[in-house]
Structure 1
Amino acid sequence: MPSISGVYKTQEGRPINQLYVIKVDRIVRDQADLDYVQSLVDRNPDYFATFQRPELGDFLYADTNGDGSLDNNDRVEIGKGTLPTFTYGASLGLTWKDFDFSLLLQGVGNHQVYYNNQAFRFVTVMGQSLIKDITDNAWTLENPYNSKYPILRNNSNAKNNIASDAFVHNAAYLRCKNIQLGYTVPRNITKKVYISNLKIYASIDNLFTITKFPGLDPEVGADVGYPAVRQYSLGINLTF
């Protein structure tokens, strides 16, 4: 028997903690979509007994098993579990005369995570923020067809905020962990002031991150509370 805990499912022969959520069929954008919702009810008056009937701007969830009813049996497995499919890294070191350069890259590929917290959600909560992408692209009467997200309702009506694939994101990323440029002062200069070695360098941590993940930091996925800090350093290595 499978083990289900929240949005995760573990069963024999499948990845551990595979995401297990309901799928979004569409956003109900206009009267034609409302008529389609009514046709579902006409065929089965109890179609929305488990999940609330959508109105304009709401998500319509998918009857994935095709039994003519929308319920928890329509949830589907997504992704490869809580671990990314692969991780990778690369380092580069170059020297030219008295200069040296190093670069460290790190990333993961195909990492499906469930992200429904912090500022990424489809409800409004007094005193809390939402990311600009959601507020700019939520369904409204003025923007019914180009919206990416459903209508934003108060958190007392969270029917668009249930565990669905709308909150499943690929947290794949490529990050420049460190880049450094250094200059070693020639020995014939440093020996005049009784210095054995003198190196001056500049370093940057977390210079850039390439990702489509909407959260603050794809490296830790849905658990992050703060973005990765970009840090600039200037230093001197001195040996007498």
Structure 2
Amino acid sequence: MGGRIGLSYKGIDLNVDFAGGAMQSWNQDYELRNAFHGGGNSPAYLLEDRWHRADPYNPNSEWISGYYPAIRNGNTGPNSRNSDFWLTNVRYLRVRNLELAYTLPQKISQKIKAQKIRVYVNGSNLISFDNVKDFQIDPEIEAAAAVVYPQQKVFMAGFNITF
């Protein structure tokens, strides 16, 4: 989905472009559900709220419950099995582009024989409202392991002179 808002008042104009999505599924995989996948680090959320033994050195100690399954060595155990536990329905709304500009009055632009002088600031991918922030991923990713670069934030400032 997408949308645009354009406002203008006394030489000031604001343009905002939105993009969003819903009803798309994302399945956590690899680094995001297998602790220490490939000898690497684990996401903090897998380590903080997981099933674990009260005494990690005593396999007979009581289990302490958590949201995520217990960590197993390698790609075995409940983490490696596909299930809807690892499936997330992604919803997001992103400010794709925002531009704030000011057009100088004609009596100022005519001093340099210009028809129009406009100054602006512009930002792209400034903020995203989504339900996948806890996973520290971009909601528009395509890779199940989320090992792709997120959308970059871009800031620009400039001016236009029309002669």
Q: For the superposition of Structure 1 and Structure 2, which TM-score range results when normalised by the shorter chain?
A: 0.7 to 0.9
Residue 227 (1) aligns with residue 150 (2): yes
SS at match of 1:188: helix
Residue 204 (1) aligns with residue 123 (2): yes
SS at match of 2:123: strand
SS at match of 1:148: coil
User: What amino acid maps onto 2:155 in structure 1?
Assistant: Y
> Which residue in the other structure is 1:216 paired with?
137
Q: Deviations over 1:26-72 (max 9, x none)?
A: xxxxxxxxxxxxxxxxxxxxxxxxxxxxxxxxxxxxxxxxxxxxxxx
Q: Deviations over 1:212-239 (max 9, x none)?
A: 1236222234355111111111111122
> Which residue in the other structure is 1:99 paired with?
12
2: CA distance between counterparts of 1:98 and 1:154?
A: 63
Q: Check whether the contact 2:34–2:75 (CA below 8 A) recurs between aligned residues.
A: no
SS at match of 1:208: strand
Q: Which among 101, 124, 135 is matched to residue 182 of structure 1?
A: 101
2: CA distance between counterparts of 1:94 and 1:188?
A: 23
1: CA distance between counterparts of 2:161 and 2:155?
A: 20
2: CA distance between counterparts of 1:129 and 1:199?
A: 49
Counting aligned pairs with the same residue, the percent is: 26
SS at match of 2:85: helix
Shift of 1:167: 1.6
**TM-score under structure 1 length normalisation:** 0.57
Task: Please list, as runs of the form range in 1=range in 2, the aligned pairs for 1:78-89 lying within 5 A after superposition.
Answer: 88-89=1-2
Q: Which among 116, 129, 145 is matched to residue 41 of structure 2?
A: 129
**TM-score under structure 2 length normalisation:** 0.81
SS at match of 1:94: strand
User: What amino acid maps onto 2:137 in structure 1?
Assistant: L
SS at match of 2:52: coil
Q: Check whether the contact 2:100–2:121 (CA below 8 A) recurs between aligned residues.
A: yes
Q: Show structure 1 runs of 5+ residues with no match.
A: 1-87
1: CA distance between counterparts of 2:64 and 2:91?
A: 30
User: Larger radius of gyration, structure 1 or 2?
Assistant: 1
Q: Check whether the contact 1:114–1:222 (CA below 8 A) recurs between aligned residues.
A: no
User: What amino acid maps onto 1:162 in structure 2?
Assistant: R
Shift of 1:158: 4.2
2: CA distance between counterparts of 1:185 and 1:197?
A: 7
Q: Deviations over 1:85-136 (max 9, x none)?
A: xxx211100001010001111111221222213x311332354233222222
